[in-house]
Amino acid sequence: MELKRVVVTGIGAVTPLGNAAPSFWQNLIAGTPGAAPITRFDASKFRTRFACEVKNFKVEDHIDRKEARRMDIFTHYALVSVDEALRDSGLLEQSYRPERVGTIWGAGIGGLRTFQEEVADFAKGDGTPRFNPFFIPKMIADSASGQISIKYGFKGINLVTVSACASSSNSIMEALLYLRTGKLDVCVTGGSEAAVTEAGIGGFNAMKALSERNDSPETASRPYDKNRDGFVLGEGGGALVLETLEHATARGAKIYAELVGAGSSSDAYHITAPHPEGEGAMHSMKWALEDAGMGVDEIDYINTHGTSTPIGDPQEVKAIAALFGEHAYKLNISSTKSMHGHLLGGTGAVEAIASIMAIKEGIVPPTINHFTDDEEIDNRLNFTYNKAQQRTVRASLSNTFGFGGHNCTLIFRKFER
C-alpha cells in the first residue's frame, strides 16, 4: 500500500498563555510565564497554591449556556479549540464527505471537576443516591470527541486515546495512521484537560510531583535548572486539522507543515518514574525517525517533555544524547512547559502547535526560568534558555511521556510539494 502524505491545515488552542493559537504563540516566543496563584478554589491549605490556569475564558461566549452545563470544562476547552482550528482550516466553508472526517481526541483524566463535585455532593447528603443525570456523560473521557462529532456532524472514526500525559500525542499519531492508510480524508485531533481542581492539586501534591515554589509561581517551572522541584499543573486544549495532501490540495487549503512520522514505546519500568537511562524515550524518538524515513541530522528543533521534575529531565536529555550523538549539539531544544505548565492529556497537542509554528515562523520558543546549571545535565546542549532564537527549522520533533511508562514522539517537517 502506498501511504498518503498528511498535512496540517488548521490549528486552535485554549491555554494559560492565550485563548487562541496566535496569542498562545506570541506569548510563547515572548517568554511569558503562565503560572499564578490558583483562582479556581481556595488553595490556602494545599502545599502547592499556584497553577497555570486558563485566564479570561467565558464559556458562554462560545457555547450555549444550557449546553455548557451538560459538559465538563475539559470538553469546553476541546470544543473551543476545535472551533478555532476548523475556522482556520476553512474546511466547513467547502464541500466534504462527513463520513470521511474523523474525530480522534486525547484526555488523560477527563471530567475530574465533574467527578469531584458529584461525589462530594453525595458524601454531604444522607446516603440517598441523588446524582446529576449528566454526571457520567460529562465525566467520561470520550465525551469530548463525541461532542465534537455531534456538533459538526463528522461521521468518520471517533475515539479517544488515554495514555496519561502522552494522550494527545497518541491521538495525533492515531489520526496520522488512519489518514495515511486512506480510511479518512480529514481528522480533527488533539487533546484537552482541566485538572486544576482540589483533587488534581491534592493528588499530585501527595505524590510530591508538583513544584511548591509558592513565593514565586512565575519562576516555578524550571526545566533543566539545578533547583527545579516539580512540575506546574496547567489546563486547556489544543486542536489540529489534519488532512491527506490529496484532499488539502484539491480544496486549495493552506498548509502549515507536514506530519511525517510518529513513534511510541513503553518504559516497562515503573508506574510513575521514567527509565533511568531514558531507554523508552530513546526508542520512541528512534522509531518516529524511522517512520518518517529521516536521519537525526534532519531535525533542527526538539520540543521536549521537559516537565521540571528532578528525575524526569535528565533521563530525556540522556535519551537525546544517545540517539542524536554529535548532532545533538547542533539542535535547538526547549521545554515550553516552562511557560504554559503541564497540561497532562492536553500537553502534546499544544506542544505540537508550538513545534509547527517553530517551522512556519523560523523561531524556537525558549525554556524560561533557567538560573543555575545542573551538573547532571549536559549544558553544552542548546536548551534555548530564557530567550527565543531565530533559526531555520526544517523539521521539529515533539516528545510527550506519561505515567505508566507511555512515550510518544511526533515529527513535523516544512511542507514541500
Residues with active-site annotation: 165, 305, 342
Say how far apart CA 12 and CA 19 lie, in whole Å. Answer: 9
Say how far apart CA 287 and CA 284 lie, in whole Å. Answer: 5
Say how far apart CA 115 and CA 195 lie, in whole Å. Answer: 11
Task: Please classify residue 203 by burial: count the beta carbons closer than 10 Å to its beta carbon, then call 0-12 exposed, 13-18 middle and 19+ buried.
Answer: middle
Helix (H, G, I), strand (E, B) or coil at 107: coil
Residue 292 to residues 20, 187, 212, 353, 412, Cα–Cα distance (Å): 29, 19, 40, 19, 9
Say how far apart CA 364 and CA 207 lie, in whole Å. Answer: 32
Look at residues 190, 149, 145, 196 and name the one whose alpha carbon lies nearest to residue 172: 190
Q: What are phi and psi of 227, to 5 degrees?
A: -100, 25
DSSP state of 233: B
DSSP state of 382: B
Say how far apart CA 360 and CA 350 lie, in whole Å. Answer: 15
Say how far apart CA 10 and CA 92 lie, in whole Å. Answer: 12
The alpha carbon of 314 is separated from its chain's Cα centroid by a whole number of angstroms, namely 21
Say how far apart CA 301 and CA 399 lie, in whole Å. Answer: 11
Look at residues 225, 219, 276 and name the one whose alpha carbon lies nearest to residue 383: 225
Identity of the amino acid at 254: K
